[in-house]
Chain A
Amino acid sequence: MKRAAGLVALATLPLGVLTVFFVLPVVGMLGRGLWPDGSFDPAALYDVLSRPRVGRVIWFTVWTSTVATVVAVVLGLPAAYALHRLDFPLRGVVRSALLVPFVLPTVVVGVAFRQLLREGGPLGFLGIDGTPWAILAGLVFFNVAVVIRSVGAAWESLDRRPGEAAAALGATPRQVFTSITLPSLRPAIVSSASVVFLFCATAFGVVLTIGGVRYASVETEIYLLTTVLYDLPGAAALSIVQLLAVVALLAVSARVRRVPDPTVQRATPRPLRPRRSDAPQLIATGVLLALLAAPIAALVAESLRVEDRWSLGHYRNLATTGGDGVLVVPVTTALRNSLQTALDATWIALLLGLLVSVVLTRRSRSATERRVRSVLDGFFMLPLGVSAVTLGFGFLVTLGREPLDLRTWPLLVPVAQALVALPLVVRTLVPVLAGIDDRQRQAAASLGAGALRTAMTVDVPIVLRPVVAAAGFAFAVSLGEFGATSFLSRADHPTVPVVIFRLIGRPGEGNYGMALAASVVLAATTALVILAVERLRVPAMGSW
């Protein structure tokens, strides 16, 4: 009884925050759509869903997200192996650089993609400019890091001995991979794939900016219906489709990724020198990295060009308010705002994430308890699967005035960003916490340690570094977040992505150059933070 009360107490804060900042806005929006005149009208819902255009939109979203997810997994696996299982120079730098796409504003990446892909561009020979393949390339660019990091972490902590035993018994490397390695990695692959699928299915900027406007996804359609056409019933119908799909996906992936006993696999063998047989994986990794680096390199090069000469001029301008004072504050101040916001978002995400993870990983004593836990697990993933417009506009109409006026609350933007980062934090901490054998706590307790002492000696030493790692994730997500921020940011307190958007939305070479330079600075800051985190050498972080 006391135990249950304790868990409920731990769950209260995260549940409360999610209810106010996620459930309330989303339900508010759905309510406005489904009860337009105060009465529920299922016929209207059916009308919306039977429009031929809606069918096309859903089909396009499903197939692009599926293909992008498959491609991300196929390309990500060799890289996960090379970057987490092998030892070579600059491995840490490459690993931290992989998170850079996470924070780059889509509009900036879009420009870089166009420069590469257009006729006459360095990758123009591919002929994919303006086709759905360009959208797929964009989706993979933004998401492959999720696969590499999470599968890589699982691979890193995989016990080598079963594979070695199989090899000694005459299995070919291919047999070892398909019959030993792949099944052990299945949970990590499935859960990272499901996260990538969610990111792809709710991608907005990539589809619009890179794909041009011939293609519409569920997300762009919700935007069109909500913002331009003010057709809230239509938007609500699509949002419900989105939510149902997300719930189904989470349920399936929870089932597939379940491992009988997660405590078995925790070991971190030293990474190996690359051998000749690793050549295919290394080559595949090299090609992938080159493809990821191409748009970023184009961006960096362009940011160093001032009137067709190489110069640091755009970077020097970052301390100003731009040509003719386009900006409220110089980019340097915006960077300070961004770091400040990210710090707040990080501690909020960590606090909530830790509470959630503890609740999710305590051993369940009954089937009901286990079921409650898995429902909670899915609940905290939901923010990944809901349209930013629905959430952002829902925030404004439900939390913008009495009885709940949070619009000027200084923590509003950090809390919104923390919710976006929360699933990543939880997915980083849960496997580690679940890996602690409960018998250690029991042993500590039987030796006379109190609850606090037990936590300090058993849990904290193991969790400390994953917590720092999760902090890095949350920090990066917050630095790059634009969707929610653009709805809620304060005029006098713009973050770097907001400033970049403003700069690139103005004519004049100086503004454009500054937008690129600011993107590069944002990317570099992120990479440095992640690199510092990686230096902490967290084993097995980020298993999904």
Chain B
Amino acid sequence: MTSRRATRTTSSASPARAARTTVAAAALGALALAATSCSLVGGDDDTGQGGSGESDTVVLLTHNDFFLPDEVVAAFEEESGYQLDVRPTDGVGNLVNLVSEQAGKPSGDVVFGVDNTFASRVLGADALTSYAGDLPPGVATYALPGDDEGDLVPVDNGNVCVNVDDVWFAKQEIEPPVTLDDLTDPAYEGLFVVPSAASSSPGLAFLLSTIAEYGDEWPSYWEDLLANDTEIVAGWSEAYQSEFTQGGGDGDRPIVVSYDSSPAFTVDGEGGTTTSALLDTCYQQVEYAAALDGADNPDGAQALLDFMVGPDVQAALPESMYVFPVADDTELPSDWATFAARPSESYEVDPAEIEANREDWLIEWTDIISR
């Protein structure tokens, strides 16, 4: 009995309800049509015909921040005769691990996005093969110390620096800080926000600059930072957008870890910028590309590496990936040329030392900040 009634309840429909059902179904259908151009097989295009194995395609393994304008990609494809197949993955760490994991049997031809904090891991995994081309003037100055075979081709660079909100400091009539030491000064109590070294790349770079400055004493510097009410958040977005006074989210901290290029994005429209980078606090990050050992298309890999250090990519780097070019005489966008001041010297930690100590440093750092 019960079940028969139930069946009737579910299947009977009043005319009004039927009409509503029809309208809703029609709406869904329209949405589906609008959405798809009738895709029941996922896509409309032609990328990666069969992936590796075809020598007319170059497969680039990279991270999610990789981006080049269409015309630059088209220029590569036209000049070289190869199709570019870009396969991004989640972040530098995973990219580096993927390449190391597949050493000798890679799932691509070229890797781009390995930076100087992770480079030793890839070199140690024997996943790369050396670059045979000629580097344009200026590029070699960014070569990775310890890369004796010349596997890693520098492509771009940028500095992770402490940034300050000049407007805020002017209004409060306080002198902004200048050095890492200043950040522990009680005058700046509760004003500084840092992305985590464990979950963000600029966060790790900032930790490394404190290690470069204070050596074995870095833990006590961090204790002082925390005693001065420094806030630590998950990533760059949380720090800059949410907590920084010049970020999007009405934050209340006027000192933040960001990049030397950031002031070019806070232009006030009256010929100035509202923020500046503290040039004595910077850690230089260099991003490298390299041909993968055992790749299906070594010639294509070579062509892509040549192109990455060539004028088209170098000129496109600031606006597409927010980093500085490595080749001399590359013209910068005008806001960058005017407002993105660069440090003359920055902190460095030997890549091999980073690889050897990363785990110990991060565990000690995590212990300090979770006390």
Chain A interface residues (CB < 8 Å from chain B): 32, 53, 107, 110-111, 114-115, 118-120, 130, 208-209, 212-216, 220, 223-224, 226-231, 263-264, 266-268, 302, 323-326, 328, 336, 339-344, 347, 389, 392-393, 396-397, 400-401, 405, 407-408, 410-411, 413-414, 435-437, 439-440, 461-462, 465, 468, 486-493, 498, 501-502, 504-509, 512-513, 515-516, 528-529, 532-533, 535-537, 539-540
**Interchain CB contact under 8 A, A410 and B42:** yes
| Among B33-41, B166-174, B323-331, the stretch in contact with A | B33-41
What are 14 A-B contacts defined by CB distance under 8 Å?
A111-B242, A208-B196, A214-B369, A226-B97, A324-B319, A413-B42, A437-B7, A462-B11, A465-B10, A486-B90, A490-B87, A491-B88, A506-B265, A509-B248
Q: Which of B35, B41, B252 contacts A342 (CB 8 A)?
A: B35
B-side contacts of A513, CB under 8 Å: 248
State whether B24 touches A492 (Cβ < 8 A): no
* B9 interface residue (CB < 8 Å to A): yes
Closest residue of B by beta carbon distance from A412: B42
Q: Is the interface of A mostly helix, strand, loop or mixed?
A: helix
- Do B265 and A508 touch across chains, with their CB atoms under 8 A apart? yes
Residue of B48, B89, B236, B250 near A505 (CB, 8 A) is B236
Query: Complex Cα distance A483/B283, Å?
Result: 30
Of A130, A392, A492, the residue contacting B45 (CB under 8 A) is A492
A212 touches B232 (CB 8 A): yes
Among residues 204 to 237 in chain B, which have CB atoms less than 8 Å away from a CB atom of chain A? 204, 231-237
Smallest beta-carbon distance B349→chain A, Å? 16
B43 / chain A contacts, CB cutoff of 8 Å: 340, 410, 493
Chain B residues, CB < 8 A from A506: 265, 322
List, in ascending order, chain B residues with CB within 8 A of A439's CB. 3
Contact between chains at B241 and A504 (CB < 8 Å) = yes
Measured in the bound complex, the distance between the Cα atoms of B308 and A215 in whole Å is 40
Contacts of A539 in B (CB 8 A): 9-10
Instruction: Mark out the residues of chain B between 331 and 363 whose CB falls within 8 Å of any chain A CB in the assembled complex.
Output: 333, 358-359, 362-363
Q: Establish whether residues A267 and B6, one from each chain, have CB atoms under 8 Å apart when the complex forms.
A: yes
Is B24 a contact partner of A266 (Cβ separation < 8 A)?
no
| Pairwise interchain contact A435-B6, C-beta atoms closer than 8 A | yes
Contacts of B370 in A (CB 8 A): 213-216
Interface residues of B in 36-78 (CB under 8 A from A): 36-37, 39-43, 45, 47-48, 50-52, 64-67, 69
Q: Which residues of B contact A436 (CB under 8 A)?
A: 3, 7
Q: How far is the CA of A461 from the CA of B101 in the complex (A)?
A: 51
Contact A209 B320 (CB under 8 A): no
Contacts of B48 in A (CB 8 A): 407-408
B21 at the A interface (CB under 8 A): yes
Q: How large is the interface on B (under 10, 10 to 19, 20 to 34, 35 or more residues)?
A: 35 or more
Contacting residues of chain B (128-183) with chain A, CB-CB under 8 angstroms = none
A208 and B234 contact, CB distance less than 8 A = yes
Q: How far is the CB of A234 from chain B (nearest CB, A)?
A: 10
Question: Which residues of chain A are within 8 angstroms of B310 by Cβ–Cβ distance?
Answer: none
Q: Is the CB of A228 within 8 A of B106?
A: no
User: Which A residues are CB-close (under 8 A) to B232?
Assistant: 212-214
CB distance B69 to A227 under 8 Å?
Answer: no
A263 (CB) vs chain B CBs: closest residue: B3
Q: Which residue of B lies closest to A539 (CB)?
A: B10
B64, A486: Cβ atoms under 8 Å? yes
- Residues of the B chain whose Cβ atoms lie less than 8 Å from the Cβ of A114: 238, 242-243, 249
Which of B23, B25, B235, B238 is most buried by chain A, counting CB atoms within 10 A of its CB?
Answer: B238
CB distance from A210 to the nearest CB of B (A): 9
Residue B258 CB within 8 A of the other chain:
yes
In the complex, which residues of chain A have a beta carbon less than 8 angstroms from the beta carbon of B199?
208, 213, 220, 223-224, 228
Tell me the smallest distance from the CB of A198 to a CB of chain B, in Å. 22
Q: Are A340 and B320 in contact (CB under 8 A)?
A: no
Determine if B91 is an interface residue (Cβ-Cβ < 8 Å).
yes
Contact B3 A437, beta carbon cutoff 8 Å:
yes
* Contact across chains for A267 and B9 when beta carbons are under 8 A apart: yes
Contact pick for A401, options B6, B17, B25, B106, CB 8 Å: B106
